[in-house]
Amino acid sequence: MRFYSAIPTFSFPQPSSPRALTRRIFNMAAAASSSTASIHHRLLQSSSPSPRRRHLAISCTAVTPSSISTSISAGDRGVYNFAAGPATLPESVILKAQSELYNYRGSGMSIMEMSHRGKEFDAVIKKAESDLRRLLSISDDFSVLFLQGGATTQFAAVPLNLCNPEDTADYIVTGSWSDKSFKEAQKFCKPNLAWSGKSDKYTNILPFDEIQQNPDAKYLHICSNETIHGVEFKNYPKPKNNSSILVADMSSNFCSKPVDVSKFGLIYAGAQKNVGPSGVTIAIIRRDLLGHAQPITPVMLDYKTHSDSASLYNTPPCFAIYICALVFEDLLDQGGLVAIAQNNAKKAGLLYEAIDGSGGFYVCPVEKSVRSFMNVPFTLQRSELEKKFIEEAAKERMVQLKGHRSVGGVRASIYNAMPLAGVEKLVSFMKDFQARHP
C-alpha cells in the first residue's frame, strides 16, 4: 500500500464540462495508484495550446509506510498537558496501545472491532479487574463494575440503589461536584446537607466531629477530591449511624494513593483523570448492598444488573476499559499506589512551595491541610496578568492551565501521569514570569 503526500504534476487545458474534469481526475488517480516512485505525467497535452487554455500544475510523491513514523514519545509531542480531564496518560500506555491498535496481539482485529463477548476482550476485562483489585486490595466482598455515563450518572444511581424515596442520606458538600450530587439526590430520596463549604468559597473542610450528621441516614456521601476547587480529603469521615455506609466520588484522585476500600460501602470514579480515557466509570460496591434498588430504577442504573453480568450486560466501552487495563498494569509496574502516592506528594509539594514562596504574587486560596495533590488552583495577585500567564505558558508548551470557567484563575492538574519534569518546568516558568512582572 502507498500513501501520497500530494498529486502528480499535470498540465492540461481547462475541461469543457464537469464530466470531462471528473474523467480526467479518475485517470490521474489511476496513474497515481500504479506508481512506485515519484510520478510525473502530462495528460491531454497540446502542442500548441491556445492562449485561452488554463494549465493546472500538481505534484505528487509516493510515500511508503516505512517513511511514516510508527513511534511516538513525550519528547516528540513536546507538550505538558495540565488538563483536568480528559487528562494526560502514561507514555508507555499510549505507545502500547498504538502498537496494538491495528492488530491486537495477532487476532487480526483492533480492540475496537472485536466482540465484547469474544475470548480476547474477555481476557482484557478480567485482567483489568484483577489488577485493580491488586492495586487497591479489594476483597471478594466487593463487586468491581465497569460502567458508562460518567460519575455524574452515579449521582442518580447512588440514591436509587441505596435508598427508598422516603429515606434520608447525608451529604458533605466541599465543592461543585458534591453540590451537584446533593442536588441530584433530591429527586430520589431526602438528602440532608450535613455541611457545605460554599460560604467559604469551598476552601476548607470542617472537622468531622463538627459535621451535623443525621443518625437515620442511609449513607454519608463525600467527593474525595474536588477537581474544580482543589479540596481533598486526607482522611475520611465515619458515618454516625452504625448501619450506615460511606459513599465516595473519587473521580479525580482515584488510584492516586492507597485507600482502605473496606471502610466504604461504595466508591465510584470516572476514569478520565487518572486511570484511562473518558467513556468508562468504575464502581466498587459491597455485594450485600446489591439487589435493593428502587422499583423505578432504570435497568442500566441498577448495580446488580452489571454485577450479575460481569459488566457485560450490554456492549461496554471496550477500548476505554482496555486503556484502563494498561494503566493498572503500569501502576503495578511502578511499585503500586504507595510509590505513586510518594511521587504525587513530591510534585504537589514542589508546586505549592512555589506558590507560597512567591510573596503573594501567586495565591492558592485552599487551606493547607486539605489542598489537593491532583488539582492545584491558584490566582495571580494582579488578576490582569492571568490571561498573559496562561498564554505565555502555552507558548512554552505547557497547556490547559486555565482555571474552570466557574472560578477563573489558573489550575494545574498534576495527575499520576504528569511527570516530575512537567511540574519542574511549570515552577521554573512561574518564577521567571514573576521576575518579569515585578
Q: Is 273 a catalytic residue?
A: yes
CA distances from 287 to 127, 144, 290, 327, 409 (A): 20, 10, 5, 26, 43
Q: Is 177 a catalytic residue?
A: yes
Q: Cα 368 to the chain's mean position, in Å?
A: 26
Q: From the candidates 240, 257, 273, 304, give the one annotated as an active-site residue.
A: 273
Q: What is the distance between the alpha carbons of residues 376 and 373, in angstroms, rounded to a whole number? A: 7
Angle of helix 318-333 relative to helix 336-356, nearest 10 degrees?
90
What does 14-81 look like in DSSP terms, one character per residue? PPSSHHHHHHHHHHHHHHHHT-SS-BB---S--SS--TT-------B-EE-GGGS-----HHHH--EE
Q: What is the distance between the alpha carbons of residues 37 and 32, in angstroms, rounded to a whole number? A: 10
Q: Which amino acid is at 304?
A: K
Q: What is the distance between the alpha carbons of residues 319 and 206, in angstroms, rounded to a whole number? A: 40
**β strands within 305-407, DSSP E:** 362-363, 375-380, 398-399
Q: What is the distance between the alpha carbons of residues 16 and 161, in angstroms, rounded to a whole number? A: 71
Q: From the candidates 170, 249, 302, 330, give the one annotated as an active-site residue.
A: 249
Q: From the candidates 177, 190, 304, 402, give the one annotated as an active-site residue.
A: 177
Q: What is the distance between the alpha carbons of residues 275 and 61, in angstroms, rounded to a whole number? A: 42
* Neighbouring C-beta atoms of residue 65, cutoff 10 Å: 9
Secondary structure of 249-270 in HEC code, one letter for each residue: ECCCCCCCCCCCHHHCCEEEEE
Contact 159, 296 (CB under 8 A): no
Which positions are catalytic? 177, 249, 273
